[in-house]
Structure 1
Amino acid sequence: MAQVLINIDVADLDQAVAFYTQAFDLAPARRLGAAGIELLGAEAPIYLLCQPPGSRTAGTALRDYARHWTPVHLDFAVDALEPALARVLRAGGVQEGSVREAEWGRIATCADPFGNGLCLIEFSARGYDAIAGDAA
């Protein structure tokens, strides 16, 4: 099985470290040159990579740290939604919309200070089993 690594492009490494350590209780583990930090404390390591605005991404796109949408984003499963949301907001994150409820639990959509979307999820007792069916 492949190991999953999470890379998050940011415009300011110090600000990003402050946000992710305060909001999610992650800890810096290794500095990767002048433009990278490894954070541990989640189920997969998270790498904050400082990339200047306007620098080239894949293809011909240029980095823009305004709020943007991507179908790939981070979900942080939390024990209690309101305290976790308060930590994200205190650390400089932004809540987008109201808390929503579903059979599997509750969700708050947010963005980090660099426009990257993330969700906070508080699972119900059954979690995804509440909506799970056969995968085949």
Structure 2
Amino acid sequence: MKLLLNIDVPDLNEAERFYVEAFGLEPARRFGDAVLELLGAEIPLYLLRKGAATIGAGNSPRDYSRHWMPLHCDVLVDDLDAALARALAAGARQEGDIREAVWGRIVTVADPFGHGWCLLQFLGRGYDEIVP
């Protein structure tokens, strides 16, 4: 199985700028004027230009204000403080304080398109710290 990540955005150029600056991804290929492939993560990320109010999943209109859904993306980083500063400088909004757990550190941010992201820094053995 191969996993691809597709993210709807209202403005492809602004989304490209954000994801390159915030997460260090690299533009790879454009598919017409509505799709951009970004590389640099373990899976390719595709930005799909979809206008606000166009029909999305379940026949609901797309709304790019901050929203919640039961699926989110984690970005694993070596230095959480540096990654957070980079994301904020690119236009992300921090949501809450950095939290610490036995497995590492986490902070939640929202991108300029309302999508939520968790920035994670594993400490020790990462999630394996939870297992005895």
Could you tell me the TM-score, scaled by structure 2's length? 0.97
Please tell me whether residue 98 in structure 1 is matched to residue 103 in structure 2: no
Deviation at 1:132, TM superposition (A): 2.8
What are the superposed Cα offsets for residues 2-40 of structure 1, whole Å, 9 maximum, x if unpaired?
A: 100000000111110000001111000000111110000
1:98, distance to aligned residue in structure 2 (A): 0.3
Percent identical: 57
Q: CA deviation at 1:57?
A: 0.7
Q: Deviations over 1:95-116 (max 9, x none)?
A: 0000001111000100100000
Name the structure 2 match of 1:26. 25
Give 1:5's aligned residue.
4
1:79 maps to 78
Q: In structure 2, what residue type is equivalent to 1:64?
A: D
The TM-score normalised by the length of structure 1 is 0.95
- The question of 1:119 aligning with 2:109 is answered no
Shift of residue 60, structure 1, vs aligned partner: 1.8
**The residue matched to 2:59 in structure 1 has which SS?**
coil
Runs of at least 5 residues in structure 2 that lack an aligned partner in the other structure: none
Return the alpha-carbon distance in structure 2 between the equivalents of residues 58 and 72 of structure 1. Answer: 14
Query: How many residue pairs align between the two structures?
Result: 132
User: Deviating runs (4+, > 4 A) in structure 1?
Assistant: none
2:117 maps to a residue whose letter is L
Would you tell me which structure has more strand in proportion to its own residues? Answer: 2
Distance in 2 (CA, whole Å) between partners of 1:43 and 1:131 is 24
Match of 2:16 in 1: 17
Q: Give 1:34-113 correspondences, 5 Å limit.
A: 34-113=33-112
One-letter identity of the residue aligned with 1:80:
D
- Deviation string, structure 1 residues 53-99 (Cα, Å, up to 9, x no partner): 00001222110000001111110000000000000000001100000
Where does structure 1 lack aligned partners over 5 or more consecutive residues? none
